[in-house]
Amino acid sequence: MFKARALIILGFILLLSLPLAAVQGAGHSLAEAKGSITVSDYMAFSDRVTFDIQGAVSPGAGKTLEGWLVASESGDRVSAGVMTAGPRGNIRHSWNSPGGENLFEQGYDTVIITVEPSPDTNAAPSDEVAYSYTIPGHTLTVARHLVSHGPPPDNDPEAPGLLTLLQDELSAALALARTAKNADTLESMKTSVQQIVDMIEGDEGILRHETEVHTEALRERSNDPVVLANLDLVHAYETNAETWTLEALDHAKVILEETRLDIAKIFINIVIGNLEAARNGAMGGKGGIKQAYQAAQKIATFSVPAYALPTPPAPPPPPDTGDTPFSTLAQATLLIALATLGLGALLYWKRPSAADGA
């Protein structure tokens, strides 16, 4: 009877340990990594690249991951540094161009992540590529025209991108509006306000450039959901900015017709508020040109789909649990537990009864 009870208890213990066995048998798949690599401003325009990856795994003992920016056309490349995955497989790594170069203007259209020895004495990337992505040329062109240099017909590499130009123009208009606010005479205020009006509605003015942003964004016909989402943001933020710019223009024209300085100063405060919103966005998540610029940078996002790193030679990979509800270890535990319970129950059932002993 003692043996029967002991076997039954052992069987229950094995069953209780089954979830733990299942968890221990489930390895972290090398093909789960995903995320993005984006360009942003640090000390200069578009001079920083940030790797934001989830689900990555270490390539093994004595090895490390290294990011690279590559220009397909020229073959130029630059290391973006060694990266380490955290305990949960997350990589958050930024690299800043040492000279503040605009990365869009360097022709970098490809990102690769290689597996390198650690320590690594070779300055070139290894042939062991864990991940590679190239931005389509037409997508990169639209991003450049919006944030880096102007679009055709000028296509001047020295000219700023449309959204960069608009930030500068709105900043200049704001400076004039603040000068107007501090004016001692109505005539002095109107001089500054007239300059604002000319900046907004001139042939090469703010309104024209805001329209060109919309036109340029429509050139892109990508099916990439990341690209489309950011194009939608560019359009939405540009529309907000255009609305605020028109409101600033309307109130500026009211000032030009005003005969009292104190009333004109009320309207100049409204003009300042409209121009600030057009440039920097407003409360409630309504973006302006600044936010459109940031979204335009993300049009050229290097997307990280699932990828698999080369399997380290040691230790051996964990059992594959992707196609079955339990790992091999869990299945063995279940069989042993059921067998133990069955044997214990059988012994318990066949034990001598009190009547037999009498």
Of the candidate ranges 95-109, 129-143, 342-356, the one whose mean pLDDT is the lowest: 342-356
Domain ranges of the chain: 2-27+318-351, 35-135, 143-299
| Average pLDDT of the segment spanning 1-8 | 51
Q: How far apart are CA 214 and CA 207, in angstroms?
A: 11
pLDDT number for residue 344: 57
Of the candidate ranges 41-55, 60-74, 111-125, 318-332, the one whose mean pLDDT is the lowest: 318-332
How many Cβ atoms are within 10 Å of 5's Cβ, its own excluded? 13
pLDDT number for residue 122: 85
Phi, psi for 263 (deg, rounded to 5): -70, -40
> Which residues touch 72 (CB under 8 Å, ≥6 apart)?
107, 109, 110, 134
Question: What's 222's DSSP letter?
Answer: -
pLDDT exceeding 90 applies to what percent of the chain? 45
Q: How far apart are CA 250 and CA 273, in angstroms?
A: 13
Specify the pTM: 0.73
| Average pLDDT of the segment spanning 127-145 | 88
How many Cβ atoms are within 10 Å of 118's Cβ, its own excluded? 14
pLDDT number for residue 149: 75
pLDDT number for residue 348: 56
pLDDT number for residue 198: 98
Of the candidate ranges 130-134, 162-166, 194-198, 263-267, the one whose mean pLDDT is the lowest: 130-134
Residue 193 to residues 170, 263, 267, 272: CA-CA distances in angstroms? 14, 14, 11, 11
> Which residues touch 240 (CB under 8 Å, ≥6 apart)?
277, 278, 281, 282, 286, 287, 288
Overall fold of domain 35-135: Immunoglobulin-like (2.60.40)
pLDDT in tens, 230-252: 999 999 999 999 999 999 999 99
Reduced to 3 DSSP states, what percent helix, strand and coil does the chain have, rounded to the nearest 5? 50, 15, 35
pLDDT number for residue 306: 44
Going by pLDDT thresholds of 50, 70 and 90, the confidence category of residue 121 is confident
Q: How far apart are CA 285 and CA 302, in angstroms?
A: 25
Of the candidate ranges 86-100, 177-191, 284-298, the one whose mean pLDDT is the lowest: 86-100
The top-scoring range by mean pLDDT among 37-46, 94-103, 261-270 is: 261-270
| Average pLDDT of the segment spanning 96-111 | 90
pLDDT number for residue 156: 62
pLDDT in tens, 9-40: 544 444 444 443 332 322 233 346 688 899 99
pLDDT number for residue 15: 41
pLDDT number for residue 226: 86
Which element (helix H / strand E) includes 302? strand 302-304
Q: Is the pLDDT of residue 308 over 80?
A: no
Q: How far apart are CA 160 and CA 156, in angstroms?
A: 8
Query: What is the average pLDDT score of the chain?
Result: 80
Going by pLDDT thresholds of 50, 70 and 90, the confidence category of residue 215 is confident
pLDDT number for residue 342: 57
| Average pLDDT of the segment spanning 37-53 | 92
> Which residues touch 293 (CB under 8 Å, ≥6 apart)?
146, 147, 163, 164, 167
Residue 71 to residues 2, 42, 86, 112, 210: CA-CA distances in angstroms? 76, 21, 29, 11, 31
Phi, psi for 32 (deg, rounded to 5): -100, -5
Two tokens at 230? 């950011």
Question: What's 286's DSSP letter?
Answer: B
